[in-house]
Amino acid sequence: MLKDVFMALSKNQLLTSAAKKYGLKLGAQTVVAGTNVEDTIKSIRELNALGISATVDNLGEFVFERSEALKAKESILEVIEAIQANGVDAHISLKPTQLGLDIDYDFCYENLYEIVAAASKYDMHINLDMEDYGHLQPSFDLIDTLSKEFSNVGTVIQAYFYRAQDDIEKYKDMRLRIVKGAYKESVEHAYQTKQEIDANYIKLIEYHLLNGKFTSIATHDHNVINHVKKFVEDNQISNDKFEFQMLYGFRKDMQVDLAKEGYNFCTYVPFGDDWYGYFMRRLAERPQNLNLVVKQVFNKRTNTAIGVFAGAFALSQLVSKKKK
Ligand SMILES: Cc1cc2nc3c(=O)[nH]c(=O)nc-3n(C[C@H](O)[C@H](O)[C@H](O)COP(=O)(O)OP(=O)(O)OC[C@H]3O[C@@H](n4cnc5c(N)ncnc54)[C@H](O)[C@@H]3O)c2cc1C
């Protein structure tokens, strides 16, 4: 039930605006690298010093204004230039809805095209993050067109979707990130139980490791990571064929340990002021992440405005659910 509450919170426009206004609060600063490019480059340098590369996400999603999508595009172009100018080991992750997929498909494509073309000059990879089911096929359509011209694009396969096996076969020649899936999806399209999702996740990872180009295994699940370690050893898959990925701020010790063990490791580094939806999804995935919030809310009085606001909303959701 807590998961549903946080998923509902993640889409709340009022709280999203409040969060932008009040900056990095509610514990988000532990999982978001900063609000500007300089802070982010500094965080990437720190990761690079530990032998970890970065995939940088200029936070933002579900954009409905052209001006906002154009601003996001400019911001991503700025990050590409900053990565290149500073010589850090990093590439880009972005969300199609941030670049206007909900406004107009062609408008989104033009924005994306500009970004992919700019990055290709530096041989920099661009990953299209996958969002909810409603945006899945249009996102693959964008990939299909872009990949005809560029080789520096890749995307994500979400293991909870029934169609994931077909997609991974179709895109096997592409660098793919494989995840369990972060959005709330209906039984019509997606597995619902942890057992089913985990089983499909392992199946997809194994398939792409054996048949695909480069595999990014993006998970905080130590059972999956241990399984992969054994699988690559048994099948003599070399370390340059895959990497592990985790989100910034999560399981930091394990991130460093995996890099020290000699595995390629890449941290997903989100930055910017549009952190609210991202952060709420992290709470939905793992309510224990609430301890990040609790520490921050009680440490700094200024955080309480959003904290109380969010708490009141969460409670109202719980009450209305109980009534149903
Ligand atoms: C780099 C990256 C990129 C992603 N990109 C996308 C995307 O484009 N689209 C999308 O839909 N989703 C994306 N996700 C989110 C993903 O789909 C999952 O929702 C998310 O990673 C949670 O699943 P999990 O595999 O980490 O493990 P879970 O199933 O959440 O956890 C499994 C077990 O791992 C352990 N564990 C998990 N987290 C922690 C922790 N913080 N501390 C200690 N133990 C822990 C616990 O024992 C837990 O029971 C991404 C995730 C990552 C890491």
Type of residue numbered 95: K
The alpha carbon of 219 and the centre of ligand 1 are apart by a number of angstroms equal to 5
Is 68's C-beta closer than 6 angstroms to any atom of ligand 1? Answer: no
CA atoms within 13 A on the CB side of 245: 25
Is 244's C-beta closer than 6 angstroms to any atom of ligand 1? Answer: no
Domain boundaries, the chain: 1-30+275-324, 33-274
Is 228's C-beta closer than 6 angstroms to any atom of ligand 1? Answer: no
Report helix, strand or coil for 125: coil
| Residues belonging to the active site | 129, 177
Enter the tokens of residue 36. Answer: 């500007």
> Higher confidence at residue 285 or residue 311?
285
Report how far residue 51's alpha carbon sits from residue 3's, in angstroms, rounded to the nearest whole number: 34
The alpha carbon of 207 and the centre of ligand 1 are apart by a number of angstroms equal to 20
Annotate 54-71 with b (16+ C-beta within 10 A) or e (fewer): bbbbbbbbbbeeeebbee
Q: Establish whether 130 is an annotated binding residue.
A: yes
Domain 33-274 classification at class level: alpha beta
Render 262-311 in DSSP notation, one character per residue.
T--EEEEEEESS--HHHHHHHHHH-GGGHHHHHHHHHH-GGGHHHHHHHH
What pLDDT was estimated at residue 4? Answer: 73
What pLDDT was estimated at residue 8? Answer: 67
The alpha carbon of 149 and the centre of ligand 1 are apart by a number of angstroms equal to 32
Decide if 283 contacts 289 (C-beta within 8 A): yes
Q: Which of 179, 201, 222 to mutate to test the pocket of ligand 1 (most atoms within 8 A of CB)?
A: 179
Lowest mean pLDDT among 73-82, 94-103, 292-301: 292-301
Is 248's C-beta closer than 6 angstroms to any atom of ligand 1? Answer: no
Tell me the pLDDT band of 154, cut-offs 50, 70 and 90. very high
Q: Establish whether 281 is an annotated binding residue.
A: yes
Check: pTM over 0.85? Answer yes or no.
yes
Locus of tokens 């809805």: 97
Enter the tokens of residue 26. Answer: 């509610």
Decide if 216 contacts 176 (C-beta within 8 A): yes
Q: Which residues pair with 25 in a beta bridge?
A: none
- φ/ψ of 65, rounded to 5, equals -115, 130
Whether 278 shows a pLDDT value over 70: the answer reads yes
> Higher confidence at residue 18 or residue 62?
62
Given the CA of residue 289, which atom of ligand 1 is nearest to it?
Answer: 41
The alpha carbon of 124 and the centre of ligand 1 are apart by a number of angstroms equal to 25
Decide if 30 contacts 278 (C-beta within 8 A): no
Q: Establish whether 163 is an annotated binding residue.
A: no
Looking at ligand 1, which residue's alpha carbon is closest to its atom 32? 221
Tallying the residues shown for the chain, one arrives at: 324
Given the CA of residue 95, which atom of ligand 1 is nearest to it?
Answer: 8
Lowest mean pLDDT among 71-80, 159-168, 286-295: 286-295
Looking at ligand 1, which residue's alpha carbon is closest to its atom 52? 218
Round the average pLDDT of the chain to a whole number and report it.
87
Mean pLDDT of 252-264: 97
Is 28's C-beta closer than 6 angstroms to any atom of ligand 1? Answer: no
